[in-house]
Amino acid sequence: MKILVAEDDRATRLILSRALGSWGYDVIAVSDGEEAWQVLSREKMRLLVSDWEMPRLEGPDLCRRIRQASMAYVYALLLTTHKDSDRIVEGLDAGADDFITKPFNPAELRARLGVGRRILDLQDELALKVDELERANGQLAKIAATDPLMNIGNRRSFELAIGRVSQKAAREESRYGVLMIDIDHFKQVNDRYGHAMGDRVLSAVAAALANAKGPSDEVFRYGGEELVMISPGQTAASLHDLGERLREVVASLRVACQDGEAIRVTASLGVAVAPAGSARWEAVVEYADQALYASKNAGRNRVTSIPR
Ligand SMILES: [Mg+2]
């Protein structure tokens, strides 16, 4: 383990370095606090033995600087000739972890450094646990936001995403479109082929739409056999074109059954463009939904735009 020694007295520095080296430490020795600070800023050091009185930067000031910096925890042991408790309190307040008085007893120094290493080990374990927790939290957040069957965002993440997109559009005075996509006669697929096949159709449609969308578009499961896509930067005409393209993607999909039959489905779409600068997304979704109903009523497998 690496250890940094800061001591301006040459003889003490040599004694310290030799002792620490003989205990297996990898020693870097410097002669003042400023130099020690430079080493700490450059190299990852976890253990510091520092003299109190040194030119340029004293031990307590070095400790203070370390505690204010955002670096991995450095266990700092101050060497001092002061034995009065006011001074010890001053050093501890500055951020030192422990003290040893000069002239030091080597066995005591070694034992105190052992305590420091135990604390550093605990720090490392804690950091590992925090990492694990953060990773687990990230996974949970992803699971909570994803529809497990379609493997795309769920209704909850749709609402978060459209909130973000609509606020950005309001700030930038730009437009975005919403596309509601509903698989036609899906109940018949379930009735005829069973729910397992129905699920395969749902995931195939979701995968095909996720694959066909533009790079800044986002697709979500809205509910049941209904999906919703958010598409930033659209005009009414370009959004209608995108809707047509997605309709064709669904219509050309073939989902293979076990008996070799290929299930084909179609989808009805309702699309709406949010007026430039509008932050209220609920109305746009409502328009897209109305347009979807119009597509259903007009015979399905079609795209209806609002405004027309
Ligand atoms: Mg000194």
The answer to whether residue 148 scores a pLDDT higher than 80 is yes
Task: Look at the block and give the residue holding tokens 């422990």.
Answer: 98
What number is the average pLDDT over the span 52-78?
93
Write down the catalytic residue from 35, 225, 226, 282: 225
* Other Cβ atoms closer than 10 A to 195: 10
The mean predicted confidence, pLDDT, of the chain is: 94
Q: Is the pTM here over 0.75, yes or no?
A: no
In the chain, where the domains are located: 2-128, 148-306
CA of 73 to the centre of ligand 1 (A): 24
Neighbours of ion ligand 1 (CB under 5 A): 8, 51, 53
- Is the link from the previous residue into 215 a cis peptide, with omega within 30 of 0? no
Q: Are 50 and 59 in contact (CB under 8 A)?
A: yes
pLDDT at 308: 60
Residue 210 CA: distances (Å) to CA of 17, 127, 221, 274: 63, 38, 11, 22
Half-sphere exposure of residue 251, counting CA atoms within 13 Å on the CB side? Answer: 13
The answer to whether residue 140 scores a pLDDT higher than 90 is yes
Q: Retrieve residue 238's tokens.
A: 């370009």
CA separation for the pair 33, 208 (Å, rounded): 63
Q: How confident is the model at residue 83 (pLDDT cuts 50, 70, 90)?
A: confident
What number is the average pLDDT over the span 41-50?
94
CA of 81 to the centre of ligand 1 (A): 9
Tell me the per-residue pLDDT of 100-136, one tens digit each, with 9 for 90 and over. 988 889 999 999 999 999 999 999 999 999 999 999 9
Give me the DSSP letters along 213-279.
S-TT-EEEEEETTEEEEEEES--HHHHHHHHHHHHHHHHT--EE-TTS-EE---EEEEEEEPPTT--
The answer to whether residue 11 scores a pLDDT higher than 80 is yes
CA of 8 to the centre of ligand 1 (A): 5
Q: Retrieve residue 251's tokens.
A: 């219509």
Burial class (CB in 10 A: 0-12, 13-18, 19+), 181: buried
Q: Which CATH superfamily is domain 2-128 in?
A: Response regulator (3.40.50.2300)
Task: Look at the block and give the residue holding tokens 């995403």.
Answer: 161
CA of 15 to the centre of ligand 1 (A): 14
CA of 103 to the centre of ligand 1 (A): 12
Q: Are 59 and 96 in contact (CB under 8 A)?
A: yes
Question: Would residue 225 show up in a list of annotated catalytic residues for this protein?
Answer: yes
CA of 115 to the centre of ligand 1 (A): 24
CA of 23 to the centre of ligand 1 (A): 23
pLDDT at 222: 97
CATH code reported for the domain at 148-306 = 3.30.70.270
The answer to whether residue 82 scores a pLDDT higher than 80 is no
